[in-house]
Structure 1
Amino acid sequence: MDNRQAIGSWLSGPRQTAEDMGVEFGYRGEQLGLPEHGPGSIARPGRRIAALVIDWALCMVIAYGLLAQGDTQAAGNWAVLVLLVMSILTVTTVGSTPGKRILGLRVVAEGGRRLGIGRVVVRSILLCLAIPALIWDRDGRGLHDRLSRAVQVRI
C-alpha cells in the first residue's frame, strides 16, 4: 500500500502532494484579484497556446509571401520579426494580437489597465525569445508576462 501511495504522489506531482498535506493554493489569478471564471479571469494555457499558433501562422504567411519571396528558410527568420512588430503594435493599441482577439483574450497590466509601450516592448521581445514563455508561475503566467507585469485574461 505504501508503494502505491508513493507512486501516486509522484505521478500526481508536487502541487497535488502539497494540497494533500493541507496547503491552500487557491485558484489561478486569486493573488492578482481576478475572478475565478468568466470575463476578466486568467486565460487558460490551451487557449493562449492556440492564440500563439494563430499569430505564428499569420506571421509565417506574411513573411513567406511578402518578405521572403518564397524562401522557406528566410521566412522563419522574418516571421519572428513580424511577430515582434505585430505584437508591439496590436497589444499597445487594442490590447490583443489577432490570435488572442479570435480566441477572446486580452493582455492587460496586473491592475487591469492597458499596458504601456515600454512594457509591451519588453513582453514582446521576451515572447520572441520563446524560453521565457515556457516558464510559468503558479497563476499560469509566462515569465514574459510576469517580468512585464502583464496578465492574459478572458474577454
Structure 2
Amino acid sequence: MASSAAAATGPSEEFRYPGNRLGLPEDGPGSAATWGGRLLALLIDWLIAGLIASVVMGQPMWAGGTGYSLMHSTVFFATTAILTGLAGGTIGHRICGLRVVPVRDRKTYTAPPGLLAGIIRALLISFLIPAVIFDRDRRGLHDLAARTVVVLR
C-alpha cells in the first residue's frame, strides 16, 4: 500500500521531465532547450536584425524612429521565418547550440520544420506574448501553433 502512495506523489509517467511526452531525452543533444538559451538566442537575433536595419536605413540603431523600427521588425520577421523554416534555426539558435525541429503525432524529426512553420513561429514571436505562455515541454504558443520544439544540438 505504501508503494502506491509513493507512486501517486512522484512524477507521472506522462511527465517526468520537459520533452518526455515528445520522446526527447532528459538531457544532452535532442533534449528540450532551456529558457536561458532560448532567450539569449532571441536577443542575438534581435540585435542582428537591428544591425541589418541600421545598414539598410543608413542610420545607427540608437537613432530609432518609426521607419527604423518598421525596418527592424521586418528584418527580424523575415530572417527568423526563413532561417527557422529552411535551416532549422536562426543565427542566434546556432550560436546558442539550439535547433528547431518539427513535432508530428508526438514524435520529433530532424529535418527543418518548413517555411510555413517558420512563418507561423516568426509571426507569433513578433507579438512576444505567445513566447512567454508555454507548456510542460517548454513549448511556447508559437511552437504549439507551428508544431515545433526547440532542442539542444
Please give the TM-score of this superposition, normalised by the length of structure 2.
0.82
SS at match of 1:40: coil
Deviations 1:107-141 (A, max 9, x none): 01012232122122111111111111111111111
Q: Which residue number in structure 2 is paired with residue 103 of structure 1? A: 96
Q: Percent identity?
A: 39
The one-letter code sitting in structure 1 at the alignment partner of 2:64 is T
**8 Å contact from structure 1 (residues 68, 78) kept in 2:** no
Question: CA separation of 1:133/1:68 partners in 2, compared to 1, >3 Å: closer, same or farther?
Answer: farther
Question: How many angstroms apart in 2 are the aligned matches of 1:135 and 1:68?
Answer: 36
Q: Which residue number in structure 1 is paired with residue 3 of structure 2? A: none
Q: Which residue number in structure 2 is paired with residue 89 of structure 1? A: 82
Gaps of 5+ in 2: 1-7
Q: Which residue number in structure 2 is paired with residue 22 of structure 1? A: 9
Q: Which residue number in structure 2 is paired with residue 56 of structure 1? A: 46
Aligned-CA RMSD value: 1.6
Deviations 1:25-79 (A, max 9, x none): 3100000000000000000000000000000011111112313634412323221
Paired residues, number: 135
**8 Å contact from structure 1 (residues 64, 72) kept in 2:** no
Please give the TM-score of this superposition, normalised by the length of structure 1.
0.81
- Larger relative CO (CA 8 A, sep 6+): 1 or 2? 2
SS at match of 1:81: helix
The one-letter code sitting in structure 1 at the alignment partner of 2:56 is L
TM-superposed CA distance for 1:80, in Å, is: 1.2
Question: How many angstroms apart in 2 are the aligned matches of 1:22 and 1:65?
Answer: 57
